[in-house]
Chains A and B, each alone.
Chain A
Amino acid sequence: MQFTKLGLLAGLAFGALVAATPAYAQVTLKVWSIDGVDRTGIADTFSKEFDEANDDIVVEYRAIPFDEIVNETLRAFATGNAPDIVSFDNPDFALFSSRGAMLDITDRVANSEIISKAEYFEGPLNSVTWEGKLYGLPKYTDTIGLFYNKDLFAKAGISEPPSTWAELAEDAAKLTDPANNVYGVTFSARAGEEGTFQFLPIIQMSGGGANKVNTEGAAQVLDIWKGLIDNGYASRDVLSLGQWDSTGVFNSGNAAMAISGPWEIDRMVEDAKFDWGVALLPTINEDDQKSSALGGFNWGIMANTQHPDEAFRLLEYFVEQEDRIFPEFGNLPARGDIALPVTGEAKKDAALVVFQDQLQYAQPRGPHPEWQKISKAIYDAEQQALTGQMPAMDALNQAQTTIDTIFKQ
């Protein structure tokens, strides 16, 4: 009796296998992203779903660590083994799109029933655009704002978060409490992309940009920041701390303000044993134009794909699922038409509203194919000024000289 059952099951399984094998040729799509290296993310989940739902397309997903994906793709592209779809950090995207390594999808998007270009925030969209053409789509986005400890603010008798950098410095002075190991503010001015990420908004709100960094306003804020460090209102270690570690100091109650992004919220809800809130990034003068950094990743189809139609179908599937990326993965969609669901966690919901607002002022880094060199010039200048090796304006002028040679090429 048992054997007959087993035999029947085996026969059924075999039949199912035969039925599942399609009679026509299958297309294989290679997708590379950073998701799935340490935890499940957007790219690995959606790739698997699409693979299972479509018999004619096999999706081969490969997870590559953040630090290696650009190098790995460069190598693969140079040797003709590039993936069909890949995702990059937004400042890295222009490196590929400007050199014709990404597929121009302008017309495909215009004809798509699923994707609507108009719904995307301007900043993320700029980072996938090169010379008026669309070479990819934003995957998700983020930006930075000012987290502040409401309990410490109340104790110091400050009612409102600061709206200018000068005010921030005043507040930081009042909030600093060396006896209890409390710094007024913490941020990241590290020698790397994170340093640029937090400093470029200052350049932008003073009227500059990637091609013009030596503005009066930027030098002024650098002097304010240097004052924060020299007076002990901010730890000197902001020069070597990344954003995640820097905000850790805030979470433990050892800093009253922190500059960082929405990726901190979940950990803060868990770790921070005080009342906190988020405010927009301060400006230089009260009525100045606001600005903020733009983070997040982009999707792109590589130019040498053998299956552009199928790859675009997969891209459309990714876009179709975007209302799931916040509830399931905690990432912010780069589109204005997706309302974020209320989580029920009051502090988190309030913070998200501010970050959604801040996103309107977020500007991409670049886009420029040699962004990495521009970025190094910027964070080197920032660090030279903050460590007192050079006056702020001289450091920015030196960076400007380097940047001029990059833009003249």
Chain B
Amino acid sequence: MSRYFSGLRDGIGFDIILVGAALLFLLALAGAPLVYNVLMSFQQVDMFTLGSLFRPAVGFDNYVAVVQQPEFWLVTRNTLIFVFGSMTGQFVLGFALALFFAQNFPGASTIRGLFLVSWVMPGLVVGGIWSLILAGDYGVLNVILRSFGIIGSNVFWKSDPNFSIWAVIIANIWLGLAFNMLLLSVGLAAIPRDLYEAAELDGANAFQRFWTITLPMMRSTIGAVLSLGLIGTLQQFDLFPALTEGGPANTSNVAGYWSWQLSFQLYDFAKGATVSVMMFLLVLFASVIYVRSTRHEVRG
């Protein structure tokens, strides 16, 4: 006991209290809902037993029922397309912009700052704006594409089953572009200039410099950006109600929106929880990559 108090005095025990408080906070605010959610996916949940913790257990029935839904495979496919499409777009365009603004030209940092506008806007607002841009009959995008002769007749981005998921992806790329660019810009700025100078003296061309210096030096940044991108994309919700509501016929429905629909539109809370547990496994995978890629950064 006295050792504990002496620990407090010399400051070692104080550390434990601080860490303990943070852990408690995490357990209460992140852990409890998570456990509740997982528990719910194995129970028969009635709308009137939402408040209670103990309900009839049904084993894996909810999981079986979710997989048997006619839209399950379509939603899974859409989720994969949405995640990879959005991430690829955000990353490639974000990297290109970051490289572009890393060049020294007048106004580079100011213009880069302006890109933040897209990032501070709420998703619902972005969805509303893109809903107007992507409208079939009077949308701006169709007018532009037609004037360049790229398309002959209007594309119904939101209502054509072949395009609906891409309508959301386009809006999501725009939304996440600034965040990717910013993180990658920071990574680029951290690479020592003299490495490039030395490489140039040795006769390396621009592509070789990118391939042998930029990419390897950016490895941990890229890992972090990609895993944060995966989490952010799986989290994306606002754009769906604003743009397509998952339609037509679920062709733009993804796991996150589906889970919300099951819980709060169809009041099937157990199935909603089940879908979100399935998604959680994906996010867990992303988190592991993220933690691994940033591990050696902490020891500075």
Contacts and interface: CB of A to CB of B under 8 A. Distances in A.
B107 interface: no
Contact of A376 (B47, B48, B135, B266): B266
Interface residues of A, number: 35
B106 interface: no
A240 interface: yes
Interface string A75-105: 1011100000000000000010001010000
Contacts of A192: 245, 247
A323 B244 CA distance: 40
A237 B159 contact: yes
B54 interface: no
B247 A240 contact: yes
A190 B158 CA distance: 11
Interface stretch (B26-34, B227-235, B248-256): B248-256
A63 interface: no
Interface in B35-61: 47-51
Contact of A240 (B48, B159, B261): B159
A384 B247 CA distance: 10
Interface in A221-252: 235-240, 249
A383 B51 contact: no
A74 B160 contact: no
Contacts of A376: 261, 265-266
Contacts of A134: none
B290 to A, nearest CB: 33
A373 B48 contact: no
Interface string A366-378: 0000101100100
Contact of B137 (A79, A235, A373): A235
Contacts, number: 88
B264 interface: yes
Nearest to A195: B247
A322 B254 CA distance: 44
Contact of B47 (A95, A235, A240, A387): A95
A170 B161 CA distance: 27
A337 B128 CA distance: 43
Contacts of B49: 78
Contacts of A383: 247-249
A384 B250 CA distance: 9
A372 B247 contact: no
Given A237-B135, A372-B265, A373-B266, A386 B47 contact: no
B206 to A, nearest CB: 45
A236 B70 contact: no
A78 B51 contact: yes
A387 B266 CA distance: 23
Contact of B268 (A77, A373, A380): A373
B267 A387 contact: no
B71 interface: yes
Contacts of B246: 191
Interface in B242-300: 244-251, 261, 264-268
A397 to B, nearest CB: 11
Nearest to A254: B137
Contact of A236 (B159, B249, B267): B159
Nearest to B268: A373
21 contacts: A75-B50, A78-B48, A190-B245, A190-B247, A236-B136, A237-B136, A237-B137, A237-B158, A240-B244, A240-B245, A370-B266, A372-B265, A373-B268, A376-B261, A376-B266, A383-B249, A387-B159, A387-B248, A388-B161, A389-B251, A398-B70
Interface of B: 47-51, 70-71, 135-137, 156, 158-161, 244-251, 261, 264-268
Interface of A: 70-71, 74-75, 77-79, 95, 99, 101, 181, 190-192, 235-240, 249, 254, 370, 372-373, 376, 380, 383-384, 386-389, 398, 402
